[in-house]
């Protein structure tokens, strides 16, 4: 039976600040919407190039 897989991508855009490694509090320098736009654009490129399975669907 086919089972959909949902992947969560964590994209590290910036270098870590000194306190982030010890405190596990990370500062995001890019909004979640900008990350989505960049990731979806790249996934669509990969799909057009045939690098992704035909069964993979790319949202928005």
- Tokens of residue 8, six digits: 């969560």
Average pLDDT, the chain: 76
For the segment 23-46, what is each residue's pLDDT rounded down to a tens digit?
777 676 777 788 888 888 988 899
What's the whole-model pTM score? Answer: 0.55
C-alpha span between 53 and 56 (Å, rounded): 5
The answer for residues whose C-beta is within 8 angstroms of residue 52's C-beta and 6 or more apart is: 43, 46, 58
């Amino acid at each position: 039976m086919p089972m959909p897989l949902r992947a969560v991508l964590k994209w590290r855009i910036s270098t870590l600040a000194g306190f982030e490694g010890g405190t596990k509090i990370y500062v995001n320098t890019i909004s979640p919407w900008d990350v989505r736009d960049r990731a979806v654009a790249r996934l669509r490129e990969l799909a057009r190039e045939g690098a992704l399975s035909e069964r993979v669907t790319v949202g928005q």
